[in-house]
């Protein structure tokens, strides 16, 4: 990876390991290299390339994951030398997003990002495949396998973009309805693995299945939340944030990320037992700022207190320290949400009892 400073470098490498483990890869070895500038053909130096090649052969490695976005030709050159599957950080994150995508929009966004990433990387191998000949009837005159593949991908990209426009239109309608009914909207944000989904499920477990079915058809990640005084809100789970989210992915998921800006209130979940908790919290705050959502009233939920081994000093106010797995803590959280809401109620068009 390109190094900003040693600490950032260390934590993005640790994050890459955690991401790899999310897709159930066994991480056997971690290689790093300090260089003044990247090698134009291999990204890393040729000596390091050889060292890794030997390791791959000896340890019988299935896949190498690079912590940077490689150019199409660097990626081709490396996998030719190593004779192994090679993916970079962006592809790994796309894989995780593909696993986790729950909404139709999310699934389409991931597929679109994957195809757009793949398209320029199809070069090269195509010449060999087309030499294999054949393909009678399936291709136009003189068209190579590569060209056919590219055409299919481009067509699929056009289709997905059209479907996405439809989905966005529907969602806008849903948003409008929500506003017209002046539903109060709470969004859960946080770093990947902080416990957002757990908290979301626990907080909404009492709302009846019927109610949830109704919401599920409109938007699978939104449910009803009842607060102690009887005040009702809609609560949504959002995508997880990641430290070094590649810029191409920020663009691809912007519309999902931007939903946060519609929220009346934000619950920011932080895994306080994580060594890098403060850094993760800061990353999420930076993204909220970038989305212009940093003015929205919020409550920081320091989660996983049961795993905490030393004293913890909250970075933000207002905040609560709890475990999403503890039902008593959840009652306290609902009360705390209501207390914070009351402080801000003039801002809202609704009466909070």
Name every residue whose Cβ is closer than 8 Å to that of residue 295 and which is 6 or more positions away in sequence.
Answer: none
Q: Which residue bears the tokens 């260390």?
A: 10
Burial of 15 (0-12, 13-18, 19+ CB in 10 A): buried
183 lines the binding site for ligand GDP (CB under 6 A)? no
324 lines the binding site for ligand GDP (CB under 6 A)? yes
Quick one: which segment of 49-57, 125-133, 191-199, 330-338 binds ligand GDP (CB under 6 A)? 191-199
Are 106 and 160 within 8 A, CB to CB? no
- Give the residue with the Cβ less far from ligand GDP, 203 or 252: 203
106 lines the binding site for ligand GDP (CB under 6 A)? no
Quick one: which segment of 23-31, 165-173, 190-198, 278-286 binds ligand GDP (CB under 6 A)? 190-198
- Rounded to the nearest whole angstrom, what is the least distance from the CB of residue 104 to ligand GDP in the complex? 19
Binding mask 60-99 for ligand GDP (x = CB under 6 A): ----------------------------------------
* Radius of gyration (C-alpha) of the chain in whole angstroms: 24
268 lines the binding site for ligand GDP (CB under 6 A)? no
Half-sphere exposure of 108 (CA within 13 A, CB side): 18
- Rounded to the nearest whole angstrom, what is the least distance from the CB of residue 183 to ligand GDP in the complex? 23
307 lines the binding site for ligand GDP (CB under 6 A)? yes
Are 266 and 296 within 8 A, CB to CB? yes
Quick one: which segment of 125-133, 224-232, 260-268, 299-307 binds ligand GDP (CB under 6 A)? 299-307
Residues 238-257 that bind ligand GDP (CB under 6 A): 240
Rule CB under 6 A: choose which of 38, 61, 325, 352 binds ligand GDP: 325
* Helices 89-100 and 104-118, packing angle to 10 deg: 160
Binding mask 194-223 for ligand GDP (x = CB under 6 A): xxxxx-------------------------
**What is the distance between the alpha carbons of residues 243 and 49, in angstroms, rounded to a whole number?**
27
Quick one: which segment of 24-32, 104-112, 227-235, 323-331 binds ligand GDP (CB under 6 A)? 323-331
- Rounded to the nearest whole angstrom, what is the least distance from the CB of residue 198 to ligand GDP in the complex? 3
- Give the residue with the Cβ less far from ligand GDP, 64 or 194: 194
Rule CB under 6 A: choose which of 323, 333, 340, 341 binds ligand GDP: 323
Strand order in the sheet with 222-226: 222-226, 232-237, 185-190, 265-271, 298-303, 319-321
Give the end-to-end CA distance of the chain in Å, rounded to a whole number: 52
Instruction: Characterize the bridge pairing of strands 222-226 and 232-237.
Output: antiparallel
Quick one: which segment of 21-29, 210-218, 304-312, 335-343 binds ligand GDP (CB under 6 A)? 304-312
Helix, strand or coil for residue 301?
A: strand
Quick one: which segment of 82-90, 187-195, 248-256, 287-295 binds ligand GDP (CB under 6 A)? 187-195
The secondary structure of 184-219 as a DSSP string is: -EEEEEEBTTSSHHHHHHHHTTTS-HHHHHHHHHH-
Burial of 227 (0-12, 13-18, 19+ CB in 10 A): middle
Q: Can you give the binding site for ligand GDP, defined by CB under 6 A?
A: 190, 192-198, 240, 303-304, 306-307, 323-325
């Amino acid at each position: 990876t390109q190094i900003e400073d040693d600490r950032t470098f260390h934590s993005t490498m640790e994050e890459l390991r955690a991401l790899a483990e999310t897709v159930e890869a066994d991480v056997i070895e971690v290689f790093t290299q300090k260089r003044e500038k990247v090698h134009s053909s291999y990204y890393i130096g040729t000596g390091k390339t050889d060292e890794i090649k030997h390791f791959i052969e000896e340890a019988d490695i299935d896949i190498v994951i690079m912590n940077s976005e490689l150019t199409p030709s660097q990626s081709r050159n490396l996998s030719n030398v190593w004779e192994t599957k090679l993916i970079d950080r962006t592809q790994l994150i796309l894989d995780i997003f593909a696993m986790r995508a729950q909404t139709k929009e999310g699934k389409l966004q991931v597929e679109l990002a994957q195809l757009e990433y793949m398209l320029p990387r199809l070069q090269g191998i195509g010449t060999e495949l087309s030499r294999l000949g054949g393909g009678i009837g399936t291709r136009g005159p003189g068209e190579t396998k590569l060209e056919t593949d590219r055409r299919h991908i481009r067509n699929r990209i056009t289709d997905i973009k059209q479907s996405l426009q439809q989905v966005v239109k529907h969602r806008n309608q849903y948003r409008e309805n929500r506003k017209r009914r002046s539903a109060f909207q709470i969004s859960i944000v946080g770093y990947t693995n902080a416990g957002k989904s757990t908290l979301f499920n626990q907080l909404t477990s009492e709302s009846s299945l019927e109610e949830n079915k109704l919401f599920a058809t409109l938007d699978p990640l939104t449910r009803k939340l009842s607060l102690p005084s009887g005040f009702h809100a809609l609560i949504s789970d959002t995508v997880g944030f990641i430290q070094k989210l590649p810029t191409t992915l920020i663009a691809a998921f912007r519309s999902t990320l931007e939903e946060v800006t519609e929220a009346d209130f934000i619950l920011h979940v932080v895994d306080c037992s994580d060594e890098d908790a403060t850094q993760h919290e800061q990353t999420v705050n930076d993204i909220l700022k970038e989305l212009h959502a940093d003015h929205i009233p919020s409550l920081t939920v320091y989660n996983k207190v049961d795993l905490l081994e030393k004293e913890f000093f909250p970075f933000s106010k207002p905040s609560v320290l709890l475990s999403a797995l503890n039902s008593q803590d959840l009652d306290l959280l609902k009360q705390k949400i209501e207390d914070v809401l009351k402080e801000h109620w003039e801002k809202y068009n609704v009466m909070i009892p």
